Chain A
Amino acid sequence: MIDLTLLPDGGLGWLDASGPESHLVLSTRIRLARNLAGRVFVGRNSESERESVLRDVEAAARDTVLLRQAARFRLDRLDVVERHLLHERHLVSRELAGLGPEGRTRSGAALLVQDRVGVMLNEEDHLRLQGLQSGFALEAAYADLDRVDTELGQRLAFAFHPEFGYLTSCPTNVGTGLRASVLIHLPGLVLTKEISKVLQGLSQVGLTFRGLYGEGSEVVGNFFQLSNQTTLGQTEAELLDHLGKVVRQVMDYEEQARQVLLRNAPAIIEDKVWRAYGLLRYARALSFDEAMNLLSGVRLGVGVDLIPGVSIYTLNKLLIHAQPAHLAAAEGLALDDADLPIHRAHLVRRVLEDEVGRRG
C-alpha cells in the first residue's frame, strides 16, 4: 500500500475549509503545462525517454526549495486502488492514474508533491506543475506555482516559442499553459433551475465547466469546476483576473438563488436539507451518487444556517473518504465490492455522530 503519511497532511490540506469563501468554494487549483526542449512529447516518445524525463526533473526538483522534500509516487508501479485513491484526492489526473479510456498507466507516470504544490510527470505533457489551495484563492495558488515554475525553469530547459509561448502537446494549452479551476458548490442555482443559464453564460465569456474530477467527469453533488478555456493571448494575471471576476459573479448568483429559495419556499428547503441529514444519519446503505447528493443537501443546510453543529470541514472530509477507493482502501476491499454502500453508510453515520453527538 502506498504510504500517504509521506505527505504531512496526507495531501488533503486543501480541504480543511480554511480558505476564503469555503462555504461555497471547495478548492482552487492551477496547473501549468511544460515540456522539455529538444525532447519528443509524451504521446510519441519511448519508455526510456520517459524515464530520462523523470530522472532529469527529479534531479532538478531536489535542487529547489519548494520541491526539495517532495514525496514521490510512481503511478506506473501502483495498483488500481492506490491510483484511484490519488485521483480521488485530486492529486493526479484521470490520465496520469491510467483511469482513462485506455485503462492502463503509461510507464514513467509519476507525481511529486510537497505541501500545496506538485508536478505530474509524463502526463499529456512532460510536466504538469500544479498548485492546490483551500477555498477561493487564485492568487495564493498562482504565487506558489509561479515560484515552482521559476525554480524548475532555471534548472531545466523548457520548450518555448517566441510567438506561441510555452509549447504543449495539445495546442489548446499553448501559450501560458495555464489552466485555473475553482471547484464550487451551486445547489441554489440547480434548485432554482438557473444553472443552465449560468453555465451557458460561461462559454460566452471564454470559460468552461467540468465535473467533480475535472476533464470528462460528471457533475456530482452539485459541484462544478469552473475554469478558463483559452491559454494564449492573455497574460497569466489577466486569465486569473477574468476567471476570478466571473467566479465572484457566480457566487453572487448562488447567494441570491439561496435567498430566493428561503423567501419563496422556506418549508420545502427546510424539509429538503433535514431529509438529507436524516438519511445520512440513519441510512444503512448509501451509493456514492446518493451520498454525494445528500452531502450537497446538508452542505446547503449548513450554508444557510438551517443545520447547526456540522462543520464544512467535516463535510469535506466525508466527500473524500466516502469515495469508492478511499472506502475500499480503508476496509481492505476491492473497488467493486458489493458491500461498499454498507461501509459508506457506516462511515457517514460514525463521522456525523462524532461531530454532533448521538442525539444531534
Chain B
Amino acid sequence: MLCEQCHEREAVVHLTQIVNEQVTTVHLCERCAAEKGVEGGALPAKTPLGDFLAALGKGQMGLPVGGVEQTPCPTCGATLQDFRQSGRLGCADCYRTFEPQMRDLLRRVHGSTHHVGERYARRGSEPVSMDHLQDELRDQLRLAVETENFELAAELRDRLRSTE
C-alpha cells in the first residue's frame, strides 16, 4: 500500500482517527507521518516485529552485523538480511539455521517460544497397520454421517467391511 500523502513510498504507519463521528484510517509512509507530527514510537500500529527487525539492523541485539547477516540458510539460501527486508523466512529450516535469533524474536513477539497447542503427528513415519487404516476409515465414516454425506458414508462402510 502506498502512502496517501506522497503516493511514492510504502505506507508503514496506519493511523485510525475519529473525526466527526466517522472512523477513518490514514496510511502514511514514515517521512510523511513525521511531517504530520505523528510520532512513530507512540503508534500502536508499529508491530513488535518491525521494532525487532529495526533493532536487528542497528545491531542493538548484540548480534555482530555483517557475518551473521550474510550467512545463508543451507536449504533455501535466505539470509537474515533477506528476512529483515521481507519479514518472511525462506523455509522451515531457516528456523534451525537462525535458531538463536528466532528464539529471541519469538519471545519478543509472542512472549514465549514454547508451542503448547495441538501437536502434529505426522503420518507415514511408521508403516500403516490394518488397525490404523480401520480406525481412520471409522473416523471418516463418522464424519461423513455427521455431515450428512450419506453417499460417501456408504462407500466408506463398504471399504471398512472389505478390510474386516
Contacts and interface: CB of A to CB of B under 8 A. Distances in A.
A166 B115 contact: yes
B3 to A, nearest CB: 11
Given A167-B95, A236-B118, A190 B113 contact: no
Given A169-B88, A196-B18, A216-B1, A65 B144 contact: yes
A153 B122 CA distance: 7
Contacts of A193: 18, 21
Interface string B107-127: 001111111111110111000
Nearest to A209: B16
Interface in A147-184: 147, 149, 151, 153-155, 157-161, 163-167, 169-172, 174-176, 178
B54 interface: no
Interface of A: 35, 37-41, 43-44, 65-66, 68, 100-101, 124, 146-147, 149, 151, 153-155, 157-161, 163-167, 169-172, 174-176, 178, 190-191, 193, 195-196, 199-200, 203, 211, 216-219, 222, 230-236, 239, 293
B131 to A, nearest CB: 15
Nearest to A176: B117
Interface string B143-162: 11001010010000000000
B105 interface: yes
B44 interface: yes
A219 B25 contact: yes
A106 to B, nearest CB: 13
Given A41-B91, A161-B92, A200-B44, A66 B143 contact: yes
A191 B20 CA distance: 9
A160 B120 contact: yes
Contacts of A218: 24-25
Interface size for chain B: under 10, 10 to 19, 20 to 34, or 35 or more residues? 35 or more
Interface string B129-148: 00000001000100110010
B78 interface: yes
3 interchain residue pairs of minimum CB distance:
A165-B115, A233-B112, A232-B110
B18 A195 contact: yes
A173 to B, nearest CB: 10
A236 B115 CA distance: 10
B86 A101 contact: no
A220 B64 CA distance: 45
Contacts of B110: 174-175, 230-233
A157 B123 CA distance: 7
A219 B10 CA distance: 19
Contacts of B47: 172
A165 B123 contact: no
